[in-house]
Amino acid sequence: MMRNYQVAAKPFTFDFDLEKTALIIIDMQRDFCEVGGFGEALGNDVTPTKSIIPTVKKILDLARDKDMFIIHTREGHRADMSDVVKAKKRRSSAIGEVGPMGRILIRGEYGHGIVKELTPINGEVILDKPGKGAFYQTDLQLILENKGIESLIVCGVTTHVCVHSTIREANDRGYECLMIEDGTATFDPRDQEASIRMINQQGGIFGWTTTSDELIKGLK
């Protein structure tokens, strides 16, 4: 791997080959970032998830400028809900219920869509996933292998749930992950702080973390 780029990060500098690095944006869907969606149905205030949209947009624009491989994930299910495991439905009973943005976390419904500012463009992968981790029951690993991707820059929501699950899955599969601290969000700030520490602790047990400013500096 020719590590031609460097970003100041914790626990140490993240170096990577741009051609072997993808930006993965996790679940920036209306259901998590707008009033009336799944996030709110679970009892959360969506202000923190909505507030990172401009930061994620800045990173997305830069990745597009740099011709990086870009993946957008969406958590959601088939209309007949045949792909919801019973254990998930039991503890997330809002799934499939009708809300102000359509049926919650159901593919094709308005709330399931990615927020307008971050709309994917031609050439970018949209990955629908039924679980929290982006590798579970998807073709993500096949896509990454075919594209020769070895490193992932990770943004999106929520940090402690789908972002963490995805980074943990990726780390076990040998991918080096850089999580963007202000390009991710939780509903409760205590979870954000813990999530960041849980990635970069113990010498980078799951990967690296940095800020959008440092990423932008490193990519320039």
User: Should residue 27 be labelled a site residue for ligand TIU when binding is judged by CB under 6 A?
Assistant: yes
Residues 148-207 that bind ligand TIU (CB under 6 A): 157-158, 161-162
Whether 15 is a known active-site residue: answer no
Q: Fill in the amino acid letter for 94.
A: A
Six token digits for residue 37? 């969606």
Q: How far is the CB of 159 from ligand TIU (least distance, A)?
A: 8
Cα 8 from Cα 17, distance rounded (Å): 15
First to last CA, the chain: 20
Please state whether 102 falls in left (phi above 0), alpha (psi between -120 and 50) or beta: left
Collapse the DSSP code of 182 into the 3-class scheme (helix H, G, I; strand E, B; otherwise coil) and give the result: strand
| Residue in 33, 129, 155, 177 annotated catalytic | 129
By C-beta, is 158 or 212 nearer to ligand TIU? 158
| Catalytic choice (10, 20, 27, 177) | 27
In the shown chain, the binding pattern of residues 31 to 70 toward ligand TIU, with x for contact by CB under 6 A and - for none, equals -x---------x----------------------------
**Category of 151 on φ-ψ map: left (φ > 0), alpha (ψ -120 to 50) or beta:** beta
Task: List active site positions.
Answer: 27, 129, 162
Binding footprint of ligand TIU on the chain (CB under 6 A): 27, 32, 42, 75, 132, 157-158, 161-162
